[in-house]
Structure 1
């Protein structure tokens, strides 16, 4: 640093000399000015030297200070390096101690495992020896048992399995009976509560409305006037109404026969008017029959509208209204189908309220469930499917259509509303006084019921009791065990459901008993 300053001073002096020389050359003749200039230059040189020495001193001081700072930095870095080295050495010592401890633990664990393996080997050898002793004892006991029982091992196993199977079947039958009885008791309680609640809320009269097929006459002489000369009057009546008039020895009465209840009603009204008027001839007959037909059509429409109004169903297709009205002239086992439809709709409404189902669907399905009976004399097939097809064609909701089609199980029930319609139909048809049945039909149904039960294997006798409400089946105990008896009752019930038509429900009771008889001599 000092050398640099000296070189700067020399350069400055040389510059000053050059300036002075130039000045002296320019002013060569002015000596005075030269001396003054020389003095100025001398003073400038002196000042420059002083400044240079001051700068040298300052540079020396700065250099000394920089050396001190460098020494301090070196000392600081060396201290930091020593501290970091000591810290790393302590960390290495700690890791080395941990590794040593883990190595010692692994050594101890390995020693324990080796001891355990040696113990297991000894125990395995002891178990193998014990197993051989047990096998020898089992073989000896088995041989002894075979000698005592005079049975081979396979025969003893079969006998044991047979006994276990028999006991299991008895236990299964007992459990099934208990669970079935428990489930039936709970279901009957709930069903009884719901149905009784629904029935209590609706009072119905005993059904006694039967379509009249006999017309009373004031006297027997009226028969001749109805027949007419050469039978022209009776032929005119039969041709105009489409019915058959039966004029027999029944006093003061004429029977009207027709498969169509509406035609029969038209003929009854027309015949009563002709008898009351007294003018009976073909022209008059045609006029009276036309008036009676118009009157019956009006009655049908009013009856259909009244049925829908009474149960609160609106928006029905006119064709459905007309079919409902036609049910007023249709009976089943003495029960008027128009009144049955209204009663079933009311029951379905109450049941739907109790069960939380859709009231409108259940009510409409119950009201329309038998409309197929109004046209069964015209269309072949089950009335449930016929009615469902008509309802579908008239734009009825699919849930209601399914309820109509499935109330006799021709199709599968898809909703709870369909079940409610079936229950309402059964309650209305099975209650006391709702229907009547001819003796011949009753005997046929009872015999068919017994024949269904006797068609199963193992059945000894079958008796229908309680007017066909229950069938008691007696089975041969040697051929049918308890479990099979339970299954047999379900199969008989299912066969009855599929092959017979009956109101209400039929209880199937299968009786299996063993009797031991001996004689004391």
Structure 2
């Protein structure tokens, strides 16, 4: 036992001598050396953590990009829709060229009465058995086309008859507007919308933007928004409703001052639409802050619908703007009662 104690004492003495020698060589105490080692280890650990974080962030970004592409691709592929680019004229077929003279009337009386009452241009040229109804306003043009076809079919063409058939055509278009609003809500599965809102949705049937029919665009945006919301865990109904109503203001932006997003949001709010849907409408062009995930979804769905190949044609919208500007210039002169 004494021998073991002596060996233990010698070992302790040797260890103490080595520690003293190390301190002498390094000029550091044990505490100082420990602190330096820990500081070095901490720095190495921080560097490693930073590297790992950057790697994880890069992988997350790549995964997010891939997932976003998958969701968008899925939404576009699942949606089967067609768009027909709008034109600014409607052609009316005639039974014979003799009808052109009756449409014009004595000293142009009939054609002037029609153009004034309908707010359109009627072009009678050398094209066989055809006349053209022209207007940048699709509702006016459709009303005029229907009335003209009935005048031609009826054969009784005079100012009083023109007024009557135009009124009948306007009533028909109003009925179509209501039906199209209800159809849009049914197709997208959105119940409980106020009749006034449905009416504006229906009016989008006769509005275009860059040649894209806004009624079809609204329905398409609603479907895309709903699909994206389903994939991301958002509220599908809010996203679909925001998509359907996001361009609601375009149906009345020529009647009310302001941007179509804010006009539409105010109109929707007035008729009982929820706050999140109102935010989707108001914020889809970043005029107000987006307050819910569905607002971001609606913005993305709107962009996807508009960016599809062939969905829009910029020249048509530019043409309409030019015509509107010309109409405003003409109406600014004293004595001008109506311009079209």
Q: TM-score, normalised by structure 2?
A: 0.71
- Matching residue of 1:217: 93
For structure 2, the 5+ residue unaligned runs are: 1-26, 28-53, 319-340
Equivalent pair of 1:214/1:253 in contact (CA under 8 Å): no
Quick one: structure 1 residues 180 and 224, their matched pair in 2 at CA, closer, same or farther if it must change by over 3 Å?
A: farther
| 2-structure distance, mates of 1:364, 1:353 | 14
| 2-structure distance, mates of 1:178, 1:257 | 61
- Matching residue of 1:419: 296
Indicate whether 1:394 and 2:258 are aligned: no
Instruction: Find the partner of 1:344 among 208, 221, 226.
Output: 221
Indicate whether 1:292 and 2:149 are aligned: no
- Matching residue of 2:118: 241
| 2-structure distance, mates of 1:342, 1:439 | 21
Equivalent pair of 1:328/1:339 in contact (CA under 8 Å): yes
Instruction: Find the partner of 1:281 among 152, 155, 158.
Output: 158
Deviation at 1:308, TM superposition (A): 0.5
Q: How many residues in Structure 1 have an aligned counterpart in Structure 2?
A: 266
Equivalent pair of 2:247/2:261 in contact (CA under 8 Å): yes
- Matching residue of 2:77: 200
Deviation at 1:252, TM superposition (A): 4.5
| 2-structure distance, mates of 1:178, 1:386 | 46
- Matching residue of 1:385: 262
Equivalent pair of 2:143/2:166 in contact (CA under 8 Å): yes
Instruction: Find the partner of 1:229 among 74, 92, 106.
Output: 106
- Matching residue of 1:70: none
Equivalent pair of 1:211/1:329 in contact (CA under 8 Å): no
- Matching residue of 2:30: none
Quick one: structure 1 residues 429 and 263, their matched pair in 2 at CA, closer, same or farther if it must change by over 3 Å?
A: same
| 1-structure distance, mates of 2:61, 2:130 | 54
Deviation at 1:373, TM superposition (A): 1.2
- Matching residue of 2:189: 312
Equivalent pair of 1:260/1:377 in contact (CA under 8 Å): no
Deviations 1:399-447 (A, max 9, x none): 1111111111122211111111111111111112222233996xxxxxx
| 2-structure distance, mates of 1:191, 1:405 | 24
Quick one: structure 1 residues 257 and 179, their matched pair in 2 at CA, closer, same or farther if it must change by over 3 Å?
A: farther
Equivalent pair of 1:213/1:268 in contact (CA under 8 Å): no
Deviations 1:202-248 (A, max 9, x none): 2233x125256222332444333222112221222123323333445
Provide the secondary structure at the position in 2 that maps to 1:203.
Answer: coil
| 2-structure distance, mates of 1:376, 1:314 | 25
Equivalent pair of 2:279/2:291 in contact (CA under 8 Å): yes
- Matching residue of 2:148: 271
Task: Work out which structure has the larger RCO, using CA pairs closer than 8 Å and 6 or more positions apart in sequence.
Answer: 2
Quick one: structure 1 residues 277 and 199, their matched pair in 2 at CA, closer, same or farther if it must change by over 3 Å?
A: same
Equivalent pair of 1:328/1:337 in contact (CA under 8 Å): yes
Between stretches 272-281 and 345-354, larger displacement belongs to 272-281
Quick one: structure 1 residues 248 and 181, their matched pair in 2 at CA, closer, same or farther if it must change by over 3 Å?
A: farther
| 1-structure distance, mates of 2:245, 2:175 | 20
Between stretches 194-203 and 209-218, larger displacement belongs to 209-218
Provide the secondary structure at the position in 2 that maps to 1:435.
Answer: coil
Equivalent pair of 2:238/2:294 in contact (CA under 8 Å): yes
For structure 1, the 5+ residue unaligned runs are: 1-122, 124-176, 442-521
Q: TM-score, normalised by structure 1?
A: 0.47
